[in-house]
């Protein structure tokens, strides 16, 4: 679904590339988590996925980014947006209407979706995000978590093949963050949608991602199954990515020869692993 080859990009006002030599293949239907320290280049990578780069931000573009067979440099942004749906970190800046239903309708009308399909798409998108009861609400009256779900629903109504989200839980509490990820994971399974999430919370990403990508100083440091990436917790800490303490504990026990299993992602997995260690 996504093929990034030797991709580098330098913003016009910058002296150095923000990302350099990126190679990444993402299969159709994968759930991908991208994380890294602040300023590592992960947001720039998402701009390349949704076509914002090169179509909106001027700069020096090298390599290629191909989405579902479309080279983002060879097609217009409208073509990319019919395949890739994006939700930015500041969802308030993304809203263009004041009512939930109108927000979901907006994209459908812009893309000329036939009238007889619109009601079904709106209802389905709201239901997929579990917010059917918010349909007539004023967006400004919603909580942060509810706004995030409205923003995602407005994109899902367009039936994207790829969904790209930039820190969708940055302002949410742990319970709301997990609820958003639960909904995204369920939607991806049911619809075969490729989901790419940029997120600081590596513990949350590791619970849901098929592929975990670590970006460091504009390059990909790791791209593998979460358990394999988490084996490098000491190195991740050095580059500004903090793993769960349960992961760090079990990795230290492995280094001491006291544990031989896979890296753990949470307290529950650590508890089960410790039972083996202490048996």
- CATH number of the domain encompassing residue 31: 3.40.50.300
| Interval 208-220: pLDDT, tens | 999 999 999 999 9
Query: Radius of gyration of the chain from Cα atoms?
Result: 20
Question: In this predicted structure, what is the pLDDT of residue 62?
Answer: 95
Query: Is there a single domain that holds both residue 182 and residue 277?
Result: no
Task: Reply yes or no on whether the pLDDT at 171 is more than 80.
Answer: no
Query: Is there a single domain that holds both residue 220 and residue 254?
Result: no
Close Cβ partners of 220 (under 8 Å, ≥ 6 residues apart): 22, 23, 24, 213, 214
More confident residue, 134 or 256: 134
Question: In this predicted structure, what is the pLDDT of residue 94?
Answer: 87
Measured CA distances, 135 to 67, 111, 115, 256 (Å):
32, 21, 18, 55
Query: Is there a single domain that holds both residue 134 and residue 188?
Result: yes
Query: Is there a single domain that holds both residue 42 and residue 95?
Result: yes
Query: Is there a single domain that holds both residue 149 and residue 271?
Result: no
- Does residue 236 sit within a domain? no
Mean pLDDT of 143-165: 91
- Does residue 238 sit within a domain? no
Query: Is there a single domain that holds both residue 196 and residue 263?
Result: no
Beta strands in the chain (DSSP E): 2-11, 19-26, 31-36, 59-67, 70-71, 84-87, 162-166, 194-198, 211-216, 219-224
How many domains are contained in the chain?
2
Please report which confidence band the pLDDT of residue 175 belongs to, taking 50, 70 and 90 as the band edges: confident
- Does residue 164 sit within a domain? yes
Please report which confidence band the pLDDT of residue 261 belongs to, taking 50, 70 and 90 as the band edges: confident
Query: Is there a single domain that holds both residue 182 and residue 105?
Result: yes
| 277: containing domain | 244-279
Query: Is there a single domain that holds both residue 215 and residue 92?
Result: yes
- Angstrom distance (rounded) from CA 85 to CA 165: 8
Query: Is there a single domain that holds both residue 223 and residue 251?
Result: no
- Does residue 277 sit within a domain? yes
Mean pLDDT of 245-255: 89
Query: Is there a single domain that holds both residue 93 and residue 208?
Result: yes
Query: Is there a single domain that holds both residue 66 and residue 196?
Result: yes
Query: Is there a single domain that holds both residue 126 and residue 96?
Result: yes
């Amino acid at each position: 679904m996504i093929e990034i080859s030797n991709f580098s990009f330098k913003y016009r006002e910058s002296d150095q590339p923000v990302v350099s030599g990126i190679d990444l293949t993402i299969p159709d239907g994968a759930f991908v988590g991208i994380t890294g320290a602040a300023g590592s280049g992960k947001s720039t990578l998402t701009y390349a996925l949704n076509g914002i780069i090169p179509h909106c931000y001027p700069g020096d573009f090298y390599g290629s980014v191909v989405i579902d067979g479309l080279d983002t440099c060879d097609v217009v942004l409208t073509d990319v947006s019919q395949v890739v749906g994006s939700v930015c970190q500041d969802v308030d800046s993304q809203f263009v209407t004041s009512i939930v239903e109108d927000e979901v309708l907006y994209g459908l009308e812009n893309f000329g979706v036939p009238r007889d399909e619109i009601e079904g798409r709106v209802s389905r998108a709201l239901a997929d995000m579990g917010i059917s009861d918010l349909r007539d609400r004023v967006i400004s009256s919603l909580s942060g978590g509810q706004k995030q779900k409205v923003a995602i629903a407005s994109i899902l109504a367009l039936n994207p093949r790829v969904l790209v989200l930039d820190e969708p839980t940055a302002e949410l509490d742990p319970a709301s963050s997990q609820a958003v990820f639960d909904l995204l994971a369920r939607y991806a399974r049911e619809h075969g949608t490729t989901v790419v999430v940029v997120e600081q919370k590596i513990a949350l990403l590791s619970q849901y991602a098929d592929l975990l990508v670590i970006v460091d100083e504009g390059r990909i440091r790791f791209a593998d199954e979460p358990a394999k990436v988490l084996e490098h917790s000491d190195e991740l800490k050095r580059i500004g990515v903090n793993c769960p303490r349960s992961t760090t504990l079990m990795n230290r026990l492995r280094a001491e020869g006291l544990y031989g299993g896979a890296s753990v992602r949470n307290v529950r997995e650590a508890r089960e692993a410790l039972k083996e260690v202490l048996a």
